Amino acid sequence: MAEIKDVGRLPADYAANGFYGQDILSVSQFDKEKLAYIFGVAHEMRVLVERFGSADLLQGKILANLFYEPSTRTSSSFMAAMLRLGGQVIPINNVQYSSVTKGESLPDTVRTLESYADVIVLRHPEVGAAATAAHYARKPVINAGDGVGEHPTQALLDLFTIVEDLGSVQNLRVAMVGDLKYGRTVHSLTKLLVNYDVTFDFVSPEILAMPEDVLDVVRRHGHSFRVTDSVHEVIGDADVLYVTRVQKERFTDLAQYDRVRDHYVVDEELMTKAKPHMIVMHPLPRVNEIAYGVDDDPRAAYFRQMRNGMYIRMALLAAVLGKA
């Protein structure tokens, strides 16, 4: 068991969930039991929001939302999650207006924010930044994306959406399409799905292939997978088509980006080749990968994913602060 961080005096309604006072840095922290717990709480959060809009579970608690990279969904869903549970938020979405611009280091910024807040959500361009922040912080740190590394809370909401939409994660064929090299969401989701009965198709241009270390995790867990650059080859077999944006900001050579940017477009024509119960997922933002004509197809799950993100983040905040 990891060290329990300082989240205030143990609450009277404390639930021994294994998350109390913990950092959330990687999907490797989650086994099936922990996933079931978070998904159960997320489900309750949905009911709570639909019935009452908000609650006072985290009243008196403060979240510092620290984003060194652009974000719409992750940052606002963490904010909404905290506000709907009765807590408050210090939003730092524009680090250029903070002392980061004056040269303040990540450890010092984190030490500052934890003097005011009970939990820190961090997005940062460097792999391992969340772990570094967690090392220095006495308060829990939640990784909201560390460069091309991981995006654990996105993977949780992705898996939650699969379970909600398809009923279970049994005997599924999951195709991941697009920028598998730089896309942190597919790294985290793959590492989470290896715990289940899943076969993978990794679909990308060769220069954007899934990194070997992630493929090693898949191999180690004994899953079979196919690697191809053709979405047509996999579309008929897929139960889940997980589409990603080519991560322009990670390229050093923009000419190379231009060569691969519009490699895949999921449109109505392609959807006619898919199973009737397949779901199309995307962490968003989309650039050109999914045509707007697909949005009204009931198989388009990306807007449901977005809503689920708030419920999952409500569950995580409550669990970490000991109130779930």
* Residue 185 C-beta: closest distance to ligand NCD, Å: 5
Q: Do 239 and 279 meet the contact criterion of CB atoms below 8 Å apart?
A: yes
Q: Is 51 a catalytic residue?
A: no
* Residue 183 C-beta: closest distance to ligand NCD, Å: 6
What is d(CA 198, CA 221) in angstroms, rounded to the nearest whole number?
11
Residue 236 or 285: the one with the smaller Cβ distance to ligand NCD is 285
Q: Do 147 and 129 meet the contact criterion of CB atoms below 8 Å apart?
A: yes
Question: What is the token pair recorded at 112?
Answer: 């500052």
Question: What is the token pair recorded at 282?
Answer: 């995307």
Residue 21 or 283: the one with the smaller Cβ distance to ligand NCD is 283
Residue 52 or 292: the one with the smaller Cβ distance to ligand NCD is 292
Q: Do 38 and 307 meet the contact criterion of CB atoms below 8 Å apart?
A: no
Q: From the candidates 124, 151, 173, 313, which is the catalytic residue?
A: 151
Q: Is 74 a catalytic residue?
A: yes
What is d(CA 82, CA 90) in angstroms, rounded to the nearest whole number?
11
* Residue 153 C-beta: closest distance to ligand NCD, Å: 8
Rounded to 10 deg, the angle between the 152-166 and 184-193 helix axes is: 60
Q: From the candidates 9, 102, 220, 272, which is the catalytic residue?
A: 102
Q: From the candidates 5, 123, 139, 181, which is the catalytic residue?
A: 123
Residue 17 or 185: the one with the smaller Cβ distance to ligand NCD is 185
Residue 76 or 228: the one with the smaller Cβ distance to ligand NCD is 76
* Residue 75 C-beta: closest distance to ligand NCD, Å: 9
Residue 4 or 287: the one with the smaller Cβ distance to ligand NCD is 287
* Residue 8 C-beta: closest distance to ligand NCD, Å: 29
**Of 323, 309, 304, whose CA–CA distance to 79 is shortest?**
309
* Residue 221 C-beta: closest distance to ligand NCD, Å: 23
Q: From the candidates 34, 43, 73, 111, which is the catalytic residue?
A: 73
Q: Where are the beta strands (DSSP E) in the chain?
A: 62-67, 88-92, 119-124, 141-146, 172-177, 198-203, 225-228, 240-243, 279-281
* Residue 73 C-beta: closest distance to ligand NCD, Å: 5
Q: From the candidates 74, 153, 161, 244, which is the catalytic residue?
A: 74
Residue type, 177: V
Q: Which residue has the tokens 């991941």?
A: 176
Binding site for ligand NCD (CB under 6 A): 73-74, 145, 151, 154, 184-185, 245, 283-284
Residue 284 or 315: the one with the smaller Cβ distance to ligand NCD is 284
Q: Is 73 a catalytic residue?
A: yes
Distances (CA, A) of 28 to 127, 155, 309: 15, 11, 19
Residue type, 206: E
| DSSP one-letter code for 42 | H
Q: Do 302 and 279 meet the contact criterion of CB atoms below 8 Å apart?
A: no
- Could you give the 3-state DSSP secondary structure of residue 224? coil
What is d(CA 75, CA 173) in angstroms, rounded to the nearest whole number?
31
- Residues belonging to the active site: 73-74, 102, 123, 151
